[in-house]
């Protein structure tokens, strides 16, 4: 099994790589800055890395070129970058920073997918190739002060459904990990209530009270989505904290409901009561 993990130096990316390395899979990934996690993955599992700065299109192109030379046929592509900044109301944040957030959390991720798609393994007998994205909040409500990040994640969620419809030989799934104790919260903690509003205190409480989604469950969900024989997972948005992933009950529900776990307009069939 050949797996490419974009942003394998992230906490979630590194945890997935660790688990899949223990399975004996061939691992390839990217990092923006060297870290102990990158060093350990390379040493323990012979994971091969290339540098990639998502804000530098030349770096992205170079990384994709290097990855295709290292791994000419991949089975699983995990795209794990995420950055909450800029944090603040849309009207008050610097627009260039806001636009950069879209690049990191959406557009450059899709550029990487576009470049690597031709190298997916369509000859595997176990399952179709799988692409895993990561979702954020905002699917069912308005998340204040994080509009660039939230918009990007909602767009990725819809893109998974579009890709599933356009490219039926490949599995596209997006995973909502919930609040996980990772580096992604550092900007919220650094900027405080003035920028993040009530979410600052909620983040502090979750981290201090150990109310976060266990990393083990995130990895388990991702592994199941990438390897299950259930075709019903395709094009969907899964929640690690809420969904009964791995169960036959969920698989049956997915296979019988094409709208489940997708973006839909609420009460689309509503009609006024006739007077």
pTM: 0.96
Q: In whole angstroms, what is the distance from residue 236 CA to residue 117 CA?
A: 19
**Is 191 a domain residue?**
no
Residue 275 inside a domain? The answer is no
Render pLDDT for 52-109 as a digit per residue (tens, 0 to 9): 999 999 999 999 999 999 999 999 999 999 999 999 999 999 999 999 999 999 999 9
- Determine, yes or no, domain membership for 198: no
Tell me if the bond preceding 30 is cis, omega within 30° of 0.
no
- Please indicate, yes or no, if residue 209 is contained in any of the structural domains: no
In Å, how far are 21, 63, 68, 79 from 41, measured between CA atoms? 8, 18, 20, 17
SS3 category, 181: coil
Question: Which positions ≥6 away from 228 have C-beta within 8 Å?
Answer: 127, 246, 251
Domain hosting 173: range is 2-178+214-256
Give which of 211, 102, 208 is closest to 146, Cα–Cα.
Answer: 102
* Tokens 């920073």 -> residue: 97
Q: Tell me, what CATH number does 152's domain have?
A: 3.40.50.720
In a domain, 18, yes or no: yes
Write down the mean pLDDT value for the chain: 96
Is there a domain that residue 265 lies in?
Answer: no
pLDDT (tens digit per residue) in 111-152: 999 999 999 999 987 779 999 999 998 888 999 999 999 999
Band (pLDDT 50/70/90 cuts) for residue 267 is: confident
Separation CA 259–CA 159 (nearest Å): 15
Structural domains in the chain (count) = 1
Query: Which tens digit of pLDDT belongs to each residue from 150-187?
Result: 999 999 999 999 999 999 999 999 999 999 999 999 99
As a whole number of angstroms, the distance between CA 114 and CA 135 comes to 19
On whether residue 72 sits in a domain, the answer given is yes
242 has pLDDT over 60: yes
272 occurs within a structural domain: no
For residue 180 the two structure tokens come to: 């996980």
Say what percent of the chain tops pLDDT 70: 99
Mean pLDDT within 33-55: 97
Is the pLDDT reported for residue 275 higher than 90?
no
């Amino acid at each position: 099994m050949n797996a490419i993990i974009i942003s394998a130096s992230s906490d979630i990316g590194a945890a997935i790589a660790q688990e899949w390395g223990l399975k004996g899979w061939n691992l390839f990934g990217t990092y923006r800055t060297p870290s102990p996690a990158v060093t350990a993955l390379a040493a323990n599992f012979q994971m091969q890395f290339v540098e990639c700065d998502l804000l530098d299109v030349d770096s992205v192109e170079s990384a994709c070129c290097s990855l295709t030379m290292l791994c000419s046929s991949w089975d699983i592509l995990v795209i794990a970058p995420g950055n909450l900044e800029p944090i603040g109301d849309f009207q008050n944040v610097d627009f260039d920073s806001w636009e950069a957030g879209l690049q990191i959390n959406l557009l450059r991720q899709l550029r990487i997918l576009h470049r690597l798609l031709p190298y997916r393994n369509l000859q595997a007998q176990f399952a179709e190739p799988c692409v895993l994205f990561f979702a954020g909040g905002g699917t069912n409500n308005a998340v204040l002060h994080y509009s660039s990040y939230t918009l990007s994640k909602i767009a990725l969620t819809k893109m998974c459904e579009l890709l599933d419809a356009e490219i039926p030989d490949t599995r596209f799934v997006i995973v909502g990990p919930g609040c996980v104790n990772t580096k992604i919260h550092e900007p919220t903690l650094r900027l405080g209530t003035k920028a993040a509003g009530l979410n600052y205190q909620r983040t502090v409480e979750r981290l201090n009270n150990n109310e976060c989604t266990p990393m083990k469950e995130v990895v388990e969900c991702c592994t199941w989505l990438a390897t299950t024989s259930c075709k019903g997972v395709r094009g969907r948005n899964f929640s690690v904290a809420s969904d009964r992933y791995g169960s036959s009950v969920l698989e049956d529900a997915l296979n019988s409901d094409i709208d489940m776990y997708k973006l839909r307009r609420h009460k689309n069939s509503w009609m006024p009561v006739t007077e």
